[in-house]
C-alpha cells in the first residue's frame, strides 16, 4: 500500500470523517428546508343551522418575515460545517502521512535490528568454535554473549514498535483488522524547490500581520 492509497482509504473509511460528512448532508437539508415556504391553507365552512358560510385563509405570514433570517443562518451553518469538513480531511491526511512515515521508519529499523542480530549470532558462533578449539578462554566469550542478547532485545523492541505503528495507521485508515502485515513502500525524498532569497523576504513582509495602533478599537 502506497502513501496516497493509505490517505484515500482513510478518507473513505475513517469514522470521524464520515460523521462530519453526514453532518454536511444534514446541514444541506436544513438549508434547503429553510428556503421553503409553508403551504397556505384555505378552509370553507358550510352553513349549519343559524351559522352562515365562512371562508378562512391561513397564510404563513411569519414565514415571509422570518425567511431571510432563517435562510441566512442555515447557509452560514452549512458553510461552517463545510469548512470544518475540509479541515478535518486535511488533518486526517496529515495524520495518515505521519503514521505511514512512522511505520516505514519502524519497519526499516526492525530490518536493521534483525540484520544486527544475525551478525551478532554469527560472531557468537565463531567465538564458541574458538572456545572449543582452545584459542580463547571462556571469559573472552562473555562479550559476544552480551552483544547477542542485546541485539535480540533490540530486535524485539523494534518488532513491537512496528506493531504499534501498524495499529495506529490501521486505526486512522479505518480498518479494525489487517489480514496481512501492512508493508509500506519506501519513502521518496521530496524535491525541494529552488527559492530566491529576496523573493521569500518580500513575500514574508507582504504576508505578515500588521499591528493596530495603540488605543484603536476594531469596528464591528
pLDDT at 180: 56
DSSP per-residue string spanning 28-80: HHHHHHHT--PPPEEEEE--BTTBPPEEEEE--HHHHHHHHHHHHHHHHHHHH
- The CATH number of the domain where 31 resides is what? 1.20.1600.10
0.85 exceeded by pTM: no
pLDDT at 62: 63
Distances 71 to 37, 44, 123 between C-alpha atoms, Å: 11, 33, 77
Whole domain around residue 79: which residue ranges? 3-185
Residue 196 included in any domain = no
Mean pLDDT by 10 residues, the chain (220 residues): 80 82 85 74 60 54 74 87 87 89 88 90 87 81 88 90 87 70 58 70 75 48
- Alpha-carbon dihedral of residues 82, 203, 207, 213, nearest 10 degrees? -170
Residue 25 included in any domain = yes
Q: Do 95 and 115 touch, CB atoms closer than 8 A?
A: no
pLDDT at 215: 47
Query: In which residue are the cell numbers 496481512 written?
Result: 180
Count of domains for the chain: 1
Residue 14 included in any domain = yes
pLDDT at 60: 59
Amino acid at each position: 500500500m502506497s502513501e496516497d492509497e493509505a490517505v484515500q482509504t482513510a478518507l473513505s473509511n475513517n469514522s470521524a470523517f464520515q460523521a462530519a460528512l453526514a453532518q454536511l448532508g444534514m446541514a444541506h437539508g436544513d438549508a434547503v428546508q429553510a428556503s421553503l415556504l409553508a403551504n397556505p391553507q384555505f378552509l370553507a365552512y358550510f352553513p349549519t343551522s343559524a351559522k352562515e358560510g365562512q371562508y378562512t385563509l391561513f397564510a404563513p405570514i411569519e414565514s415571509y418575515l422570518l425567511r431571510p433570517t432563517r435562510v441566512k443562518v442555515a447557509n452560514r451553518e452549512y458553510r461552517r460545517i463545510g469548512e470544518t469538513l475540509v479541515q478535518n480531511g486535511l488533518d486526517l491526511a496529515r495524520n495518515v502521512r505521519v503514521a505511514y512515515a512512522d511505520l516505514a521508519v519502524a519497519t526499516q529499523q526492525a530490518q536493521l535490528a534483525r540484520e544486527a542480530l544475525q551478525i551478532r549470532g554469527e560472531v557468537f558462533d565463531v567465538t564458541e568454535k574458538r572456545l572449543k578449539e582452545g584459542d580463547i578462554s571462556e571469559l573472552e566469550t562473555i562479550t559476544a554473549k552480551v552483544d547477542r542478547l542485546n541485539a535480540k532485545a533490540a530486535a524485539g523492541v523494534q518488532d513491537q514498535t512496528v506493531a504499534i505503528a501498524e495499529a495506529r495507521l490501521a486505526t486512522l485508515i479505518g480498518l479494525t483488522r489487517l489480514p496481512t502485515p501492512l508493508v509500506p513502500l519506501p519513502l521518496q525524498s521530496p524535491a525541494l524547490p529552488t527559492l530566491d532569497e529576496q523573493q521569500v523576504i518580500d513575500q514574508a513582509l507582504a504576508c505578515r500581520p500588521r499591528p493596530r495602533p495603540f488605543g484603536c478599537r476594531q469596528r464591528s
